[in-house]
C-alpha cells in the first residue's frame, strides 16, 4: 500500500461517491476507480459496497478507514517536520508563453500540497527560447512545447497537440476543416526572433515565404495573435490555443503535432526537480 492510494481511499470513503471524490481530488473517475480496485486486490478484500447511489464501506473498509486516518496524520506530521528542518527551498520553473496554463491548476495544487516549504519562482520566456530558460541555466525545470534541440535535456510528454493556422474569421480559409502548406503558399508569416532554435523556428513559421526583413518579428504568443488580428499576418499555434474574438485556428493537416512537455537538465536533477516531474506526470494521467 502506498500513501497516495490510501489518500484516494479516504476521500472516496468520506464522499461515498466515486465521482464526487474524483472532483475533490482534481482527477477523472476512471483512474480513481482503478486505484481503488488495485488497493482491494492488494489487500484481497472488498473495501466498498457499490450501489446505484454511490458506495458504502464494508466491515473491512471501516477497519482500514480507522487505521488509515491515524497513519496519514502521522505521515503529514513527518513531512512538516522534515520541511521545517530543511527550511525554505527554491525552485525556478520556466514556462513558454501559456504552456504552464495548459497543465492547469492541478499541477499547482498538487505540488503545493506535497512541497509546502518550496518557494517557486516563474521565468516566462519569449518565442526565441523554447527551452524557457533551461539551456541558459536560468531555471531548474520547464514546461514548454516541442520541437527544439534537446541535447542535454530530458523530457516527458504531457500531451500531444495538433497545430493549425491562426487567421481572421473573414479569411477565405476560415471555414475549412483543415488546410495544407500548399494552400497557404504566398502568405505573409510572422517571424521568430533572430537566433531562435532552428528546429523550433522551422516548425512554428510558415512555408518559408517570409518577405525577408519585411515580416514582423514576434516575441510572444499575444504579439502573434494581435499581428494576425490587426494586419492579417499568418501564424501557427496549437489548435487549443485560446484566441481573441475575430480569430480562428484551422488545423494544418501536413504538420505533425507538437508535444507539451516537462523538461529538465539531463545531468543535474535534484530531488525537488524529480518531485516536480512526478507531480506533472500524475497530472497528465488524471
Task: Phi first, then psi: give them for residue 51, nearest 5 degrees.
Answer: -130, 165
43-83 pLDDT, tens digit per residue, is: 999 999 988 888 899 999 999 988 887 787 777 777 667 76
Distance CA 135, CA 264 (A): 9
Q: Which domains does the chain have, with CATH numbers?
A: 3-86 (1.10.10.10), 89-160+259-284 (3.40.190.10), 163-256 (3.40.190.10)
CB 124 within 8 A of CB 220: no
Q: Widest CA span of the chain, in angstroms?
A: 75
132-190 pLDDT, tens digit per residue, is: 999 888 899 999 999 999 999 999 999 899 999 999 999 999 999 999 989 988 888 88
CB 96 within 8 A of CB 122: no
The whole-model pTM stands at 0.68
Kindly provide the b/e burial profile for residues 203-223, where b requires at least 16 CB atoms within 10 angstroms of the residue's own CB.
bbbbeeebeeeebeebbbbeb
pLDDT at 237 over 60: yes
Amino acid at each position: 500500500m502506498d500513501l497516495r492510494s490510501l489518500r484516494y481511499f479516504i476521500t472516496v470513503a468520506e464522499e461515498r461517491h466515486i465521482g464526487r471524490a474524483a472532483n475533490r481530488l482534481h482527477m477523472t473517475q476512471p483512474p480513481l476507480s482503478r486505484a481503488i480496485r488495485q488497493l482491494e486486490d492488494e489487500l484481497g478484500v472488498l473495501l466498498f459496497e457499490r450501489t446505484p447511489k454511490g458506495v458504502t464501506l464494508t466491515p473491512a473498509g471501516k477497519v482500514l478507514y480507522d487505521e488509515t486516518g491515524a497513519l496519514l496524520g502521522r505521515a503529514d506530521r513527518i513531512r512538516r517536520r522534515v520541511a521545517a528542518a530543511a527550511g525554505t527551498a527554491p525552485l525556478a520553473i520556466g514556462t513558454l508563453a501559456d504552456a504552464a496554463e495548459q497543465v492547469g491548476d492541478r499541477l499547482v495544487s498538487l505540488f503545493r500540497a506535497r512541497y509546502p516549504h518550496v518557494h517557486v519562482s516563474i521565468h516566462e520566456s519569449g518565442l526565441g527560447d523554447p527551452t524557457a530558460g533551461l539551456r541558459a541555466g536560468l531555471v531548474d525545470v520547464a514546461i514548454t512545447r516541442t520541437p527544439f534541440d534537446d541535447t542535454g535535456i530530458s523530457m516527458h510528454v504531457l500531451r500531444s497537440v495538433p497545430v493549425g493556422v491562426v487567421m481572421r474569421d473573414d479569411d477565405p480559409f476560415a471555414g475549412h476543416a483543415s488546410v495544407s502548406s500548399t494552400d497557404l503558399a504566398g502568405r505573409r508569416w510572422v517571424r521568430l526572433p533572430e537566433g531562435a532554435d532552428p528546429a523550433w523556428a522551422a516548425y512554428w513559421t510558415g512555408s518559408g515565404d517570409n518577405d525577408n526583413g519585411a515580416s514582423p518579428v514576434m516575441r510572444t504568443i499575444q504579439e502573434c495573435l494581435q499581428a494576425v488580428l490587426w494586419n492579417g499576418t499568418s501564424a501557427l499555434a496549437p489548435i487549443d490555443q485560446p484566441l481573441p474574438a475575430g480569430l480562428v485556428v484551422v488545423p494544418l493537416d501536413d504538420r505533425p503535432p507538437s508535444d507539451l512537455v516537462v523538461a529538465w537538465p539531463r545531468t543535474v536533477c535534484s530531488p525537488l526537480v524529480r518531485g516536480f516531474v512526478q507531480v506533472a506526470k500524475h497530472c497528465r494521467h488524471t
